[in-house]
Chain A
Amino acid sequence: MIHSLFLVNASGDIFLEKHWKSVVSRSVCDYFFEAQERATEPENVPPVIPTPHHYLISVLRHRIYFVAVIQSEVPPLFVIEFLHRVVDTFQDYFGVCTEAAIKDNVVVVYELLEEMLDNGFPLATESNILKELIKPPTILRTMVNTITGSTNVGEQLPTGQLSVVPWRRTGVKYTNNEAYFDVVEEIDAIIDKSGSTITAEIQGVIDACVKLTGMPDLTLSFMNPRLLDDVSFHPCVRFKRWEAERILSFIPPDGNFRLLSYHVSSQNLVAIPVYVKHNITFREGSSQGRFDLTLGPKQTMGKAVESVLVSSQLPRGVLNTNLNPSQGTYTFDPVTKLLTWDVGKINPQKLPSLKGSMSLQAGASKPDENPTINIQFKIQQMAISGLKVNRLDMYGEKYKPFKGIKYMTKAGKFQVRT
Chain B
Amino acid sequence: FLSMSTNTLYNDQGGAEAAVEVGQESTPTSSGTAAGFGLFSTDFKKNEDLKEMLESSKESLKLEAMKRIVGLIAKGKNASELFPAVVKNVASKNIELKKLVYVYLVRYAEEQQDLALLSISTFQRALKDPNQLIRASALRVLSSIRVPIIVPIMMLAIKEAATDLSPYVRKTSAHAIQKLYSLDPEQKEQLIEVIEKLLKDKSTLVAGSVVMAFEEVCPDRIDLIHKNYRKLCNLLVDVEEWGQVVIISMLTRYARTQFTSPWKEGATFDENNEKAFYDSEEEKKDQVEAKPYVMDPDHRLLLRNTKPLLQSRNTAVVMSVAQLYWHLAPKHEVSVVTKSLVRLLRSHREVQYIVLQNIATMSIQRKGMFEPYMKSFYVRSTDATHIKTLKLEILTNLANEANISTILREFQTYVKSQDKAFAAATIQAIGRCATNISEVTDTCLNGLVLLLSNRDETVVAESVVVIKKLLQMQPTQHCEIIKHMAKLFDNITVSMARASILWLIGEYCERVPKIAPDVLRKMAKSFTAEEDIVKLQTVNLAAKLYLTNSKQTKLLTQYILNLGKYDQNYDIRDRTRFIRQLIVPNEKSGALSKYARRILLAPKPAPVLESAFKDRDRFQLGTLSHSLNIKATGYLELSDWPAVAPDQSVRNVEVIEPVKEWAPSVGKAKPPKQDDKFYSDSGEDDHEEEEGEEGSESSSSEDSSSSSSDSSSSEGLSFCVCIWVNIPTFGPVKSHELLHHMTGKGLSARYHFPRQPCLYQPNMVAVQVTLTNGSDHSLEEIHIGDRSPASLNLHCFNTIERLEPEASVTVSMGIDFSDSTQAANFQLCTKDDQFSVSIQPAVGELLMPSSMTEQDFCKEQGKLLGMNETSATITLAAENSSSQSLSKQVLSVANVGVVSSSENNIHRFAGRTVSSGALVLVTAESRESSTALLTINTDKSIMASMLLRDLKQALAQA
**Residues on A facing B (Cβ under 8 Å):** 1, 14-19, 21-23, 26, 40-41, 43-44, 46-48, 50, 55, 57-61, 70-78, 80-82, 84, 103-107, 109-111, 114, 118-119, 121-123, 125, 142, 146, 149, 151-157, 161-162, 164-166, 188, 190, 192, 198-199, 201, 203, 221, 223-227, 229-235, 238-241, 243-246, 249, 258, 261, 263, 265-269, 271, 299, 301, 313, 315-316, 365, 368-369, 372, 374, 385-386, 388, 390-391, 393, 413, 415, 417
When A and B form their complex, which 6 residue pairs have the shortest distance between CB atoms, in order from nearest? A240-B683, A72-B634, A151-B96, A199-B375, A157-B133, A47-B350
Complex contact A164–B900 (CB within 8 A): no
Q: How far is the CA of A60 from the CA of B768 in the complex (A)?
A: 42
What residues on A are CB-neighbors of B810 within 8 Å? 267, 269
Q: How far is the CA of A214 from the CA of B694 in the complex (A)?
A: 32
Within 8 A of A (CB), among B321-365: 339-340, 342-343, 346, 348-351, 353-355
Choice from B132, B316, B373, B455 contacting A77 with Cβ under 8 Å: B316
Complex contact A77–B315 (CB within 8 A): yes
B623 on the A face (CB < 8 A): yes
Choice from B133, B625, B729 contacting A156 with Cβ under 8 Å: B133
Complex contact B679–A22 (CB within 8 A): no
Complex contact A223–B851 (CB within 8 A): yes
Closest residue on chain A to residue B455 by CB atoms: A365
What residues on A are CB-neighbors of B339 within 8 Å? 229-230, 263, 265
Q: How far is the CA of A235 from the CA of B244 in the complex (A)?
A: 12
B382 on the A face (CB < 8 A): yes
As a 0/1 sequence over residues 304 to 326 of chain B, the CB contacts with chain A under 8 angstroms (1 = contact) are 00001001111110111000000
Complex contact A72–B633 (CB within 8 A): yes
- With A107-B15, A232-B311, A269-B812 given, is the CB distance from A164 to B678 under 8 Å? yes
Choice from B315, B318, B385 contacting A44 with Cβ under 8 Å: B385
Complex contact A239–B308 (CB within 8 A): yes
Choice from B71, B140, B166, B340 contacting A230 with Cβ under 8 Å: B340
Q: How far is the CA of A46 from the CA of B630 in the complex (A)?
A: 16
Task: Quote the shortest CB–CB distance from A251 to chain B (angstroms).
Answer: 9
Choice from B74, B376, B418, B687 contacting A16 with Cβ under 8 Å: B74
Task: Quote the shortest CB–CB distance from A189 to chain B (angstroms).
Answer: 10
Q: How far is the CA of A367 from the CA of B768 in the complex (A)?
A: 42
What residues on A are CB-neighbors of B559 within 8 Å? none
What residues on B are CB-neighbors of A1 within 8 Å? 212
Choice from B95, B454, B634, B727 contacting A151 with Cβ under 8 Å: B95
What residues on B are CB-neighbors of A164 within 8 Å? 675-678
Complex contact A238–B679 (CB within 8 A): yes
Closest residue on chain B to residue A14 by CB atoms: B76
Complex contact B71–A106 (CB within 8 A): yes
Complex contact B74–A17 (CB within 8 A): yes
What residues on A are CB-neighbors of B205 within 8 Å? 161-162
Q: How far is the CA of A267 from the CA of B373 in the complex (A)?
A: 8
Complex contact B678–A165 (CB within 8 A): yes
Complex contact B727–A244 (CB within 8 A): yes
Complex contact A415–B633 (CB within 8 A): no
- Count the A-B residue pairs with Cβ separation under 8 angstroms: how many? 336
Task: Quote the shortest CB–CB distance from B793 to chain A (angstroms).
Answer: 17
Closest residue on chain B to residue A66 by CB atoms: B350
What residues on A are CB-neighbors of B350 within 8 Å? 47, 57-60, 80, 84
Task: Quote the shortest CB–CB distance from A124 to chain B (angstroms).
Answer: 9
Q: How far is the CA of A151 from the CA of B376 in the complex (A)?
A: 50
- With A75-B319, A77-B316, A125-B242 given, is the CB distance from A369 to B375 under 8 Å? no
Q: How far is the CA of A119 from the CA of B107 in the complex (A)?
A: 12
Task: Quote the shortest CB–CB distance from B521 to chain A (angstroms).
Answer: 31
What residues on A are CB-neighbors of B237 within 8 Å? 239
Complex contact B74–A110 (CB within 8 A): yes
Q: Which of B59-67, B529-537, B950-958 contacts A (4 or more CB under 8 A)?
A: B59-67
Q: How far is the CA of A374 from the CA of B687 in the complex (A)?
A: 48
Residue pairs across A and B with Cβ atoms less than 8 A apart, 11 shown, are A71-B633, A73-B625, A84-B348, A107-B15, A146-B60, A156-B131, A240-B724, A267-B372, A267-B810, A385-B756, A415-B380
Complex contact B74–A18 (CB within 8 A): yes
Closest residue on chain B to residue A165 by CB atoms: B678
Q: How far is the CA of A412 from the CA of B860 in the complex (A)?
A: 42
Q: Which of B172-180, B255-263, B493-501, B709-717 contacts A (4 or more CB under 8 A)?
A: B172-180
What residues on A are CB-neighbors of B70 within 8 Å? 106-107, 110
What residues on A are CB-neighbors of B16 within 8 Å? 104-107, 142
Q: How far is the CA of A263 from the CA of B355 in the complex (A)?
A: 17
Complex contact B630–A269 (CB within 8 A): no
- With A46-B386, A155-B133, A224-B756 given, is the CB distance from A77 to B349 under 8 Å? no
Task: Quote the shortest CB–CB distance from A67 to chain B (angstroms).
Answer: 12
A18-B74, A80-B348 known; 11 other A-B pairs, CB under 8 Å?
A: A50-B632, A75-B624, A76-B354, A106-B71, A149-B59, A157-B133, A238-B679, A241-B682, A369-B416, A413-B382, A415-B382
Q: How far is the CA of A297 from the CA of B438 in the complex (A)?
A: 44
Within 8 A of A (CB), among B386-403: 386
As a 0/1 sequence over residues 839 to 853 of chain B, the CB contacts with chain A under 8 angstroms (1 = contact) are 000000000010100
Q: How far is the CA of A149 from the CA of B633 in the complex (A)?
A: 48
Closest residue on chain A to residue B757 by CB atoms: A386
Complex contact B63–A75 (CB within 8 A): no
Task: Quote the shortest CB–CB distance from B38 to chain A (angstroms).
Answer: 22
Q: How far is the CA of A104 from the CA of B23 in the complex (A)?
A: 12
Task: Quote the shortest CB–CB distance from B618 to chain A (angstroms).
Answer: 14
Complex contact B454–A44 (CB within 8 A): no
What residues on A are CB-neighbors of B375 within 8 Å? 198-199, 201, 266
Q: How far is the CA of A84 from the CA of B74 in the complex (A)?
A: 20
Q: How far is the CA of A413 from the CA of B304 in the complex (A)?
A: 35
Within 8 A of A (CB), among B251-280: none
Task: Quote the shortest CB–CB distance from A112 to chain B (angstroms).
Answer: 11
- With A239-B311, A413-B380 given, is the CB distance from A121 to B212 under 8 Å? yes
Task: Quote the shortest CB–CB distance from B920 to chain A (angstroms).
Answer: 15
Q: How far is the CA of A265 from the CA of B313 in the complex (A)?
A: 18
Closest residue on chain B to residue A198 by CB atoms: B378
Complex contact A50–B757 (CB within 8 A): no
- With A41-B384, A77-B316 given, is the CB distance from A118 to B634 under 8 Å? no
What residues on A are CB-neighbors of B687 within 8 Å? 240, 244
B417 on the A face (CB < 8 A): yes
Choice from B60, B242, B308, B340 contacting A122 with Cβ under 8 Å: B242
Q: How far is the CA of A188 from the CA of B633 in the complex (A)?
A: 40
Choice from B67, B110, B413, B762 contacting A417 with Cβ under 8 Å: B413
Q: How far is the CA of A372 from the CA of B348 in the complex (A)?
A: 22
Choice from B95, B622, B625, B628 contacting A155 with Cβ under 8 Å: B95
What residues on A are CB-neighbors of B355 within 8 Å? 77
What residues on A are CB-neighbors of B97 within 8 Å? 151
Complex contact A391–B76 (CB within 8 A): no
What residues on B are CB-neighbors of A417 within 8 Å? 413
What residues on A are CB-neighbors of B143 within 8 Å? 119
Choice from B340, B353, B410, B417 contacting A369 with Cβ under 8 Å: B417
Closest residue on chain A to residue B208 by CB atoms: A121
What residues on B are CB-neighbors of A203 within 8 Å? 346
Complex contact A22–B146 (CB within 8 A): yes
Complex contact A415–B76 (CB within 8 A): no
Closest residue on chain A to residue B182 by CB atoms: A21
What residues on A are CB-neighbors of B628 within 8 Å? 48, 50, 55
Q: How far is the CA of A57 from the CA of B630 in the complex (A)?
A: 15
Q: How far is the CA of A368 from the CA of B451 in the complex (A)?
A: 11
Closest residue on chain B to residue A75 by CB atoms: B622
Complex contact B107–A76 (CB within 8 A): no
Complex contact A231–B311 (CB within 8 A): yes
Q: How far is the CA of A316 from the CA of B314 in the complex (A)?
A: 40
Complex contact A258–B730 (CB within 8 A): no
Q: How far is the CA of A243 from the CA of B757 in the complex (A)?
A: 24
Task: Quote the shortest CB–CB distance from A95 to chain B (angstroms).
Answer: 14
As a 0/1 sequence over residues 735 to 766 of chain B, the CB contacts with chain A under 8 angstroms (1 = contact) are 00000000000000000001111011010000
B686 on the A face (CB < 8 A): yes
What residues on A are CB-neighbors of B372 within 8 Å? 267
Closest residue on chain A to residue B384 by CB atoms: A43
